[in-house]
Amino acid sequence: MKWVLVLLAGSALAQEPPAGDAQRGHAAFLKYQCYTCHGTLGQGGERGTGPKLAPNPFPWAGFEFQVRTPRQDMPAYRKQHLSDQELADIYAYVRSVKASPSASAIPLLKID
């Protein structure tokens, strides 16, 4: 439900993301511990610790809304501790992550 709300907010306020640097964003993603719940590639975690962020993250407005005023368990990253530019860089990094192969293309995941 929380992600539905976030996505709705994102859709309603659809806008272009601010300019960000993916390389700096990767460093910030690690520095600010985003990876602890979402994985270093934003792939998400098991048992609901953090949803998948990449590839194809949800729109910027929703992303920003969730980071600044998160619903439920995610800690809030407010501006005095994570600047707008750092957040834009993180978003650029998440957008830069390439898709992993699908399960059907991975022999080890063809489990009978």
Cβ 15 to other proteins, closest distance in Å? 25
Burial class (CB in 10 A: 0-12, 13-18, 19+), 64: buried
In eight-state DSSP terms, residue 59 is P
Encode 66-87: b = buried (16+ Cβ within 10 Å), e = exposed: bbeeeeeebeebeeeebeeebb
Considering the rule CB under 8 A, would residue 79 count as an interface residue with other proteins?
Answer: no
If binding is defined by CB under 8 A, does position 75 make contact with other proteins? yes
The reply on whether position 56 binds other proteins by CB under 8 A is no
**Smallest distance, other proteins to C-beta of residue 43, A:** 3
- Whole-angstrom distance, CA of residue 107 vs CA of residue 73: 35
From 8-16, 58-66, 87-95, 100-108, span contacting other proteins (CB under 8 A): 100-108
Residue 93 found at the interface with other proteins (CB under 8 A): no
Max distance between CA atoms of the chain, in angstroms, equals: 51
40 sits near other proteins (criterion: CB under 8 A)? yes
Minimum Å distance from CB 28 to other proteins?
9
